[in-house]
Amino acid sequence: MTRIIGIDLGTTNSCVAVLDDKQHPDTLVGADGERTTPSWVSWAASGQVTVGTRARRQAVTNPSATVYGVKRLIGRKVNAEDVAWFARLAPFRIVAAPNGDAWVRVHGQPISPQEVAAHILRRVKQVADESLGEPVTRCVVTVPAYFDDQQRQATRDAGMIAGLDVVRLLNEPTAAALAYGIHRHGGGRRLIGVFDLGGGTFDISIMSVDNGIFEVLATGGDSALGGEDWDRRLVERIVDEVFDQYRVDLTGIPMAMSRLREACETAKKALSTEPEAVIQLPFLANDGSGAPINFERTLTRDQVEGLTKDLMTRLEAPCQRALDDADLEPGELEEILLVGGMTRWPAVEKFVEKFFRKKPSKGVNPDEAVALGAAQYAGILAGESNDAALLDVTPHDIGIKVGDSQFAVVLPRNSMLPVRARRLFATTNENQKFVSIELYQGDSQDVSKNRKLGQVVLDDLTPGPAGSTRVELVITVDVESILSVTAREPKSGKEASVTIRPSGGLSQREIVEIINRRRQEASSQPAPEALSGGVRVTTREHSVHSLKPPTDDKK
Ligand code: AMP
């Protein structure tokens, strides 16, 4: 078996890890000595692409061509509420692809988030190739537990564009739990919380772990809250101070803002272990008379806590909501795992302890935990380790549209894969000739808020009064999340079926085009041999006949 690497493709930072010779997971270090790579990609006017720390530095001087937070866009529609929110904030342009997907526009060229993410994945692959001394092609990539099929498939497609075979996707909280060794505790079902505060997002997951089976019971969070908000508060404070003292507005000086942002983040990190830190920025800018401003200021942890009280407050509601969804009290969780670099901030740890009424576990580097867990899972898949039996589950309810806009769930979320569910429906009209069954995935009772997966049409139904004709629907999902749907009229034995592969928004042709373009740009890039996934479902156009809500429920 060839080696499989574990990749944490993060909103702000990405990280790669692998099992070492003793089957211990270890994160790999890039040529720059860093264990994490900022998930930033920048394009020079010449078309040259920069990834990681150097790209992040260019954000201030080349803001419209430096893309970050692409994980917020991958597999999403441009009109989704949080995408629209991100588009308002981002200094680069987010545009609609012909199918409504959110893409970015750089130097006038539309680019899919899959292609941007592929640049990041290619960089972490390079870190792995160099540090292992051999090219790696197979990987496990982690995704948030709440990612739907399209976001998951788009992440797979990004891997393919990067020349990687994404052997499996793994839920981030599951990866963190693996890194913390939760599955080794024995003693039956355990309830745990995974508290993940990274650079740009906050995720809380409530899970049960039972005999190697990880089940996500509830997820919550705040996609607009992370360590960068703490940094921004410090930057804003210092911008005000410099203005008061020198009458100079630093926000108009990109290079000064870039240095200030980095200095504030460094000071924040130092303050997580020290009570005081000094920010020194010689020659930050020039004052009104042209004299250099040599900025120096001592910052205390108390001051930072004072400036960020409201950010701390925002952690509470998502935790409460996730517990409510899982029908649990804070004290019922046996263990809380800290994940994400920002959980190193002492006030965050204190909040977790107070809210969940127990000391959180911190045995693993929080910014590496997800990659380490991915490496462990990769080791299990490669046969290097038989540590845990991990079963995949469906992330969202799968069902059909009934009535005008009701959602009838056929396969509840968290069903263990592979899974099959069967349900009976009845026609609503007299002598109804056909039914057109629309499949959706999502967690809302209002079908319009869920994602349409496809459609299956069963015609030539036996004529009869309304409600007399039964249609049996069987939905099967295999371990690769490929969905097969069969609609059958038991009376006549007539049936119609469709297979739905998750689509990430790009067609196979588009993926091949991107790969070929990349090959031309960098002829040394290895390209994948086989393509899978990305297939769209096409069904006959029919006017839609409604179905009645379920009349029977058999599994
Ligand atoms: P992640 O997305 O998990 O890599 O987390 C990145 C965030 O964690 C950034 O906002 C960092 O500034 C923050 N971070 C990393 N290390 C520390 C630390 N020692 N103290 C406070 N924040 C930190």
DSSP per residue, 222-289? ETT-SHHHHHHHHHHHHHHHHHHHH---GGG-HHHHHHHHHHHHHHHHHHTTSSEEEEEEEEEEE-TT
On whether both 71 and 135 belong to a single domain, the answer is yes
Q: Name the residue with the closest Cα to ligand 1, atom 7.
A: 199
109-111 sheet: strands from edge to edge:
93-96, 102-106, 109-111
pLDDT higher than threshold 50 for residue 171:
yes
Q: Is 342 in the pocket of ligand 1 (CB under 6 A)?
A: yes
Task: Let me know if residue 238 belongs to a domain.
Answer: yes
Q: How many CB atoms lie under 10 A from the CB of residue 244?
A: 8
Mind listing the pLDDT tens digit for each residue in 295-338? 999 999 999 999 999 999 999 999 999 999 889 999 999 999 99
Nearest Cα residue to atom 16 of ligand 1:
341
Give the mean pLDDT of the chain.
88
Closest Cα to atom 3 of ligand 1: 340
303 and 322 in a single domain? The answer is no
Last residue in a domain, options 450, 482, 500: 500
172 catalytic per annotation: yes
CA of 273 from ligand 1 middle (Å) equals: 13
Spacing, Cα 433 to ligand 1 middle (Å): 60
Which of 101, 149, 196, 392 does the annotation list as catalytic? 196
> How many angstroms is it from 81 CA to the middle of ligand 1?
27
Q: Provide the domain count of the chain.
A: 3
For ligand 1, is residue 36 a contact (CB within 6 Å)? yes
For the four alpha carbons of 280, 281, 283 and 286, in that order, the dihedral sign comes to negative
Let me know if 531 is exposed, middle or buried by CB neighbors in 10 A (0-12, 13-18, 19+).
middle
Confirm or reject: Cβ of 341 under 6 Å from ligand 1.
yes
* pLDDT category of residue 353 using cuts at 50, 70 and 90: very high
Residue 531 pLDDT exceeds 70: no
Residue with CA at minimum distance from ligand 1 atom 14: 341
Q: Is 349 designated active site?
A: no
Q: Is residue 533 part of a domain?
A: no
User: What is the distance between the alpha carbons of residues 234 and 285, in angstroms, rounded to a whole number?
Assistant: 18
Q: Are the CB atoms for 506 and 156 separated by under 8 Å?
A: no
Q: Single out the residue of 152, 76, 114 nearest to residue 394, CA to CA.
A: 152
For the chain, what percent of residues have pLDDT higher than 70? 92
Could you tell me the distance, in angstroms and rounded to a whole number, from the CA of residue 341 to the centre of ligand 1?
Answer: 3
In a domain, 193, yes or no: yes
Confidence of residue 392 (pLDDT cuts 50, 70, 90): low
Say yes or no: 175 and 93 in one domain.
Answer: yes
In a domain, 551, yes or no: no
Q: How much distance in Å is there from the Cα of 227 to the middle of ligand 1?
A: 6
Ligand 1 atom 6: residue of nearest CA: 199
Neighbours of 280 (CB within 10 A): 12
User: In angstroms, what is the span from residue 526 Cα to ligand 1's centroid?
Assistant: 33
Q: Tell whether 343 and 422 lie within a shared domain.
A: no
Assess contact for 441 and 151: CB atoms under 8 A: no
The answer to whether residue 553 sits within a structural domain is no
Residues 272 and 357 in one domain: no
323 and 447 in a single domain? The answer is: no
What are 420-471's pLDDT values in tens digits?
899 898 888 888 999 899 999 888 899 998 888 889 999 989 888 988 889 9
From the CA of 36, give the closest atom in ligand 1: 4
Compute the distance from residue 228 Cα to the ligand 1 centre, in Å. Answer: 8
Whether the link from the prior residue into 412 is cis, omega within 30° of 0, is: no
Annotated catalytic residue within 115, 157, 172, 231: 172
Whether 201 is in the pocket of ligand 1, judged by its Cβ within 6 Å, is no
Q: For a pocket test of ligand 1, which of 197, 229, 234, 342 has the largest count of ligand atoms closer than 8 A to its C-beta?
A: 342
- The segment with the largest mean pLDDT, out of 30-44, 114-128, 430-444, is 114-128
Q: Are strands 165-171 and 138-143 parallel, antiparallel or unpaired?
A: parallel
Would residue 196 show up in a list of annotated catalytic residues for this protein? yes
The helix or strand, by DSSP H or E, that contains position 346, with its residue range, turns out to be helix 346-356
Query: Does some domain include residue 31?
Result: yes
Same domain, 365 and 337: yes
pLDDT of 510 reads: 86
Q: What is the CATH number of the domain that holds 194?
A: 3.30.420.40
CATH of the domain at 410: 2.60.34.10
CB distance 30 to ligand 1 below 6 Å: no
Together in a domain, 291 and 362 = no
In a domain, 548, yes or no: no
From the CA of 125, how far away is ligand 1's center (Å)?
23
- Is 269 in the same domain as 254? yes
Do 37 and 106 fall into the same domain?
Answer: yes
Q: How far is CA 493 from CA 473, 489, 498, in A?
A: 13, 5, 17
Give the list of residues 6+ apart from residue 273 with CB closer than 8 angstroms, or none: none
Residue 527 counted as domain residue: no
Residues 128 and 198 in one domain: yes
Look at residue 553 in the predicted model and tell me its pLDDT: 36
Q: Measured from the CB, is residue 301 less than 6 Å from ligand 1?
A: no
Last residue of a domain, one of 341, 375, 391: 391
Q: How many percent of the chain have pLDDT more than 90?
A: 62
Contact 268 CB / ligand 1 (< 6 Å):
yes
pLDDT tens digits for range 270-285: 999 999 999 999 999 9
203 lines ligand 1 (CB under 6 A): no
Q: How far is the C-alpha of 360 from the C-alpha of 276, rounded, in Å? A: 25
Centre a 10 Å sphere on the Cβ of residue 281 and count the other Cβ atoms it contains. 20
Please tell me if the CB atom of residue 62 comes closer than 6 angstroms to any atom of ligand 1: no
Task: Tell me which of 291, 310, 329 is where a domain ends.
Answer: 310
336 and 483 share a domain?
no
Q: What is residue 172's predicted lDDT score, i.e. its pLDDT?
A: 93
* Domain membership of residue 446 as a residue range: 397-500
